[in-house]
Amino acid sequence: MKSVAVILMGCGGVGRQLLQHIISCRTFHASQGVRLRVVGVADSKSLVSVMDFFTNELDDHCLAEICHLKSNNSSLSAFSSSVPCEVFSDAETIPKITEIAGHLVRSTGLVVVDCSASSDTIGILKKVVELGGCIVLANKKPLTSSMEDYDNLVLHPRRIRHESTVGAGLPVIVSINRLLSSEDTIHRIVGSLSGTLGYVMSELEEGKPLSQVVKTAKSLGYTEPECSCASPTARVFNLNYLIIPDPRDDLGGMDVARKALIIARLLGQRIDLGSLKIESLYPQEMGPEAMTVDKFMANGVAQLDNHIAERVKKAASKGNVLRYVCVIEGSRCEVGIQELPKDSALGRLKGSDNVVEIYSRCYNEQPLVIQGAGAGNDTTAAGVLADILDIQDLFT
């Protein structure tokens, strides 16, 4: 039985769902000759790890208890178990993960999984790569940091997987890599990469006002949460968050911009987030620094209705629809509203699905189209799990 040692950073919705997937897939994985051995789990305040990380693991009962603890917004510092394990607090976390990585990379191998939403994990991820370990990311921020950080993280392509940073469980990254490896030159990618904005744009097409659509999206839970650290004294990873739903996290386009940057860098563009052209659906004077969420929802968003309605009407008069997309073509990488043919894959998009169109030498007139659920804890965690298993051949 092949054993794959795993450390998880981030115990939010995706991290907890990943642990639940690992538990529920035990029988299937055993039939495939592999076992995922979780040796440590970290949140913003603490790290829970087994004492003997060479041979032991946090068993399924421990993992279930961690999920229960975190679903109640408690810190891992409150974790207790009959399994011999240690709880490390605050500043002890990074040195301990580094110690575990140093030992396991030289012996059995190690996968460090980042399911947080923090840039504070970059240092430990780079250290794991430097030591020769593997990393799997759902967190977009490490790959959208500086080019220096990016280069260090992708130094050994075989030891990094990050499918879930772009389209949750959709095979966007792997499809691009397959085209690149066969020298099928990619010259244009257009993608609707936000479930929230996909939903908003398709609802606007039905003649509904933006304010109504945004409120409905918020009530349905489509909007990205605004993440603030649950404890002002947490200094290590900032992986434990209070969830404050703010639709502007989506409407501002930054989430799509990070996904676009990851794709652009994969295609060879040496650019940073600040160089992208990003269209926000709201003006600066309605931003989080100037207006509370409640005020934006009550008064601000309604002021945008007429302008966006005129754009929808103008596009419809030409047989087009509006979609919020990223466009990557040559040195161009921008994010915003585009008019697209109503009968195109992106034009037919309804609801919160993601759609990516890839134009290449082989897919020239008719693009390679990837479509499906591009958000949700279950889908994203499944993508992370698949990424972990994709590098199991590096383990003995």
- Rounded CA separation 245/301 (Å): 15
Query: Left, alpha or beta for 311 (phi > 0: left; psi -120 to 50: alpha)?
Result: alpha
- Rounded CA separation 86/84 (Å): 7
Give the rounded distance of the alpha carbon of 272 from its chain centre. Answer: 18
Give the helix/strand (H/E) hosting 307.
helix 305-317
Catalytic, out of 126, 140, 218, 259: 259
Asked if 347 and 321 touch (Cβ cutoff 8 Å), the reply is yes
3-class secondary-structure state, position 126: helix
Residue with tokens 């998880």: 8
Beta bridge partners of residue 37, listed in sequence order:
5
DSSP character string of 84-109: -EEEEEGGGHHHHHHHHHHHHHHTT-
Give catalytic status of residue 259 as yes or no: yes
Strands (E), the chain: 2-9, 34-42, 46-50, 85-89, 111-114, 134-137, 160-161, 186-192, 225-229, 241-245, 277-278, 320-329, 332-341, 353-360, 368-373
Q: 263: Cβ–Cβ under 8 A, 6 or more apart, which residues?
A: 166, 172, 176, 189, 191, 326, 328
Give the rounded distance of the alpha carbon of 109 from its chain centre. Answer: 24
Q: Which residues are catalytic?
A: 259
